[in-house]
Structure 1
Amino acid sequence: MPPIGVMGGTFDPIHFGHLRLAEDMADALGLDRVLFIPAGQPPHRGTPHTQASHRLEMVRRAIAGNPRFTADAREVQRPQPSYTVDTLTALRAERGVGQPLWLLLGADAFLGLPGWHDWRRLFDLANIAVATRSGAQLMQPDAIMEPLKSEVMQRQVAGKNQANRPAGSVLLRATPPLDISATAIRGMLARHDSARYLLPDAVLDYIHEHQLYVHT
């Protein structure tokens, strides 16, 4: 069965950096689809600046027109904190043990994995694809914590031809850098500066329509 990508985050707001990472990984791994899953109550960072319903709708508008991208509302609808291990456990139960799942992460999120709830189980539930400017640099001794480094060294894969394993592989993929951050976008919007060309027009229109981030 074709592999599926899982792209989580607060998406506060979603921007072209998120979309480009997902598109690049979908091509590299031959993903049948990418599930965009906005966090409801993210435990690893502060409360999002915008309500979950707004963030979910921005995701829906951002990915409209891309048949490989799907918005998944499960974490928004969950009353408990949005732990990635719980989401992957649910996806694994729904889709079976043979379904290849790929958790898509940026380098910063990947390096922070040892601080995530039950993080080692992630490797049992899914493969992990890491977008980085240089996979080699990411593995330097001063760049990665030893517990995570030992996990990765056992599991690295070459690429698309090995994308159909259900779980347990790690791909470090150099991707074109898009230096866009949601924090910077929120600051621009709060100052009434233009954020055009940093995120889809449909998302920007929604932000202006609902006066989001005005007081960030």
Structure 2
Amino acid sequence: MLRVYYGGSFDPVHNGHLAVARAARDGLQAEVWLVPAADPPHKAKTHAPAAVRAELLALAVAGEPSLHVERCELQRSGPSYTVDTLTALRADLGAQAPLAWLVGSDALLQLHTWHRWQSLFALAHVVVVQRPDATLDAARLRQQAPAVLAEISQRWLPPDALQDSPAGGFCLLTLPTLRPESSTELRRRIAAGEPWRDWVPEAVADRIEALKLYR
């Protein structure tokens, strides 16, 4: 079965993250692992320690079929480079296991800035999630990331074909309609004392309050 890995800082996890993970699970008929970054190289310092963010993720996916937490980046020192994570996963799972790395459409525009980004395709498929009201903007890609556009143009696969090969493909996955949610706005709401609990699973909200996070 296809294994999908969904990386991020998850600072904190919210319902939008879970919707993406469920869409990947259902749309790709896959097992999905959410991968909290210990030291995300493309973001500023996180607001909660990696172990706490992973704990909140575990609470969020508890009882969710085929959703899991992968803590491998917490066990490695230095920046949490995706290519290093996939290299380790590939070593553990073998050369023939179908793997995919899940990114958002905004991240695709920055893919060429990732450490050894072209090596990603030798290790896994790349899946981009997009909202139903958005499309992959080839003109913007051509302007901002022409090398990425050239790379993915020769790798297109339909979602149901990803499980037939271990790596090397690229596909788009359309999300269900969602209200806009972001960890930045969630942290702001918590700090400001505005309503926020309905943005996260109940167990996550209870733990955030118990630990007095994001105040």
Specify the TM-score bucket, using the shorter chain as the normaliser. over 0.9
Aligned-residue offset at 1:133? 2.5
Runs of 5+ unmatched residues, structure 2: none
Matches within 5 A, 1:28-177: 28-31=27-30, 33-133=31-131, 137-144=135-142, 145-177=145-177
Flag the 1:205–1:158 CA change in 2: closer, same or farther, 3 A. same
Please, what is the CA RMSD of the aligned residues?
Answer: 1.5
Give the secondary structure class of the aligned counterpart of 1:5: strand
Aligned to 2:24: 25
Measured in 2, the distance between the counterparts of 1:44 and 1:81 equals: 9
Q: Provide the TM-score with structure 1 as the length reference.
A: 0.93
Measured in 2, the distance between the counterparts of 1:164 and 1:18 equals: 27
Measured in 2, the distance between the counterparts of 1:64 and 1:136 equals: 31
Counterpart code for 1:64: A
Q: Deviations over 1:104-156 (max 9, x none)?
A: 11111222111111111111100011111269831421245110001111011
Measured in 1, the distance between the counterparts of 2:175 and 2:58 equals: 24
Measured in 1, the distance between the counterparts of 2:162 and 2:40 equals: 31
Within the alignment, does 1:191 sit opposite 2:189 as a pair? no
Flag the 1:211–1:204 CA change in 2: closer, same or farther, 3 A. same
User: Percent same amino acid among aligned pairs?
Assistant: 39
Runs of 5+ unmatched residues, structure 1: none
Counterpart code for 2:53: R
